Structure 1
Amino acid sequence: MFADLSGTEISHFYLYRRFMQSTIEKIKEIVTEAMNKEDIIVCSVSYEKENNYNFLKIVLDKVNGIDLDTIVEATNIINPLLDEYDLISEEYVLDISSKERG
């Protein structure tokens, strides 16, 4: 995997990865605090690259299940929070979904 990379490039890769893990943890804290007020459970938060696009993926659930209207409401809460804190400088697609999504 790292055969073509120099030691410096590998170091930068690990620093970036560590920075992103810390950033994702902070995002999860912010989102969880907001969603707790709505009785919504934050199952996971991840940042992934797929086909040259960056995705911030947030998976939500609720005790009795979560419907599309609730996902939309949650998105309307989460999106402005992410803009306010501006923790990710790169362009990304926000992907908020339910735990049940297949």
Structure 2
Amino acid sequence: MSKITKHTEELVTPILTKMDLELVDIVFEKEGANSFLRVYIDKAGGVDIEECSKVSEQLSEKLDEADPITEAYFLEVSSPGVERPLKKKEDFQAHVGSYVYIKSFEPISGEKEFTGTIKEFENDTIYLTYKDKTKEKEVEIPFAKVAKAHLAVTFD
């Protein structure tokens, strides 16, 4: 986590706590000539544009006061969308039964990418069921080996 994202997390957490919202992710990245500070928030049932706007206004004020970013940037506060990232252990626990995409740092059972359903999350291990051609398989993915994960959309 960069200093900018860490500082932003410290500033936004009290705002989100008051509004009963969850911090999903913070990303500070350059796209072309512009820099973007993106803050993804959520709650059960999803967030609306009004909540994003309120968080943006309050966070913008805090960022102006603290001034942790020396360059010009755009602040974006939004919902993570349908392919919400899964970053924390609590995310995996909360999404047992959900269809997900997981990429690991190293091969597990000969594969690095899996798309399937979280059957269970226990002892820092994700138990995932997935289809390999027509056969259903199970894999145990240690949380520490997850490079990237997000909810996935299925068109069954």
Say yes or no: TM over 0.5.
yes
- Pair 1:24-2:5 in alignment: yes
Residue of structure 1 equivalent to 2:23: 42
Give deviations 1:53-87, integer Å, cap 9, x for gaps.
00001111112311111111111211101111110
- Structure (1 or 2) with the larger CA radius of gyration: 2
1:99 CA displacement? 1.5
What's the CA shift for 1:101? 6.5
C-alpha distance in 1 between matches for 2:72 and 2:3: 18
SS in structure 2 of the partner of residue 87 of structure 1: coil
From the two aligned structures, give the one with the greater helix fraction.
Answer: 1
Q: Partner residue of 1:7?
A: none
- Unaligned 5+ runs, structure 2: 84-156
SS at match of 2:14: helix
Asked if structure 1 preserves the Cα contact closer than 8 Å seen for 2:26 and 2:37, the reply is yes
Count of equivalent residues = 83
Structure 1 residues 53, 101: CA separation in 2 closer, same or farther (over 3 Å shift)? farther
Deviates more, 1:70-79 or 1:81-90: 70-79
TM-score normalised over the length of structure 2: 0.49
Alignment counterpart, residue 63 of structure 2, candidates 60, 79, 82:
82
Q: Matches of residues 1-102 of structure 1 in structure 2 within 5 Å?
A: 21-100=2-81
Identity across aligned pairs (percent)?
A: 30
4+ residue segments displaced more than 6 Å? none
State the distance in 1 between where 2:61 and 2:3 align: 20
Supply the AA of the counterpart residue of 2:20.
D
The structure whose RCO (Cα within 8 Å, separation 6+) is larger is 1
Q: Does structure 1 retain, via aligned residues, the 8 Å contact 2:40–2:80?
A: yes
* 8 Å contact from structure 2 (residues 24, 40) kept in 1: yes
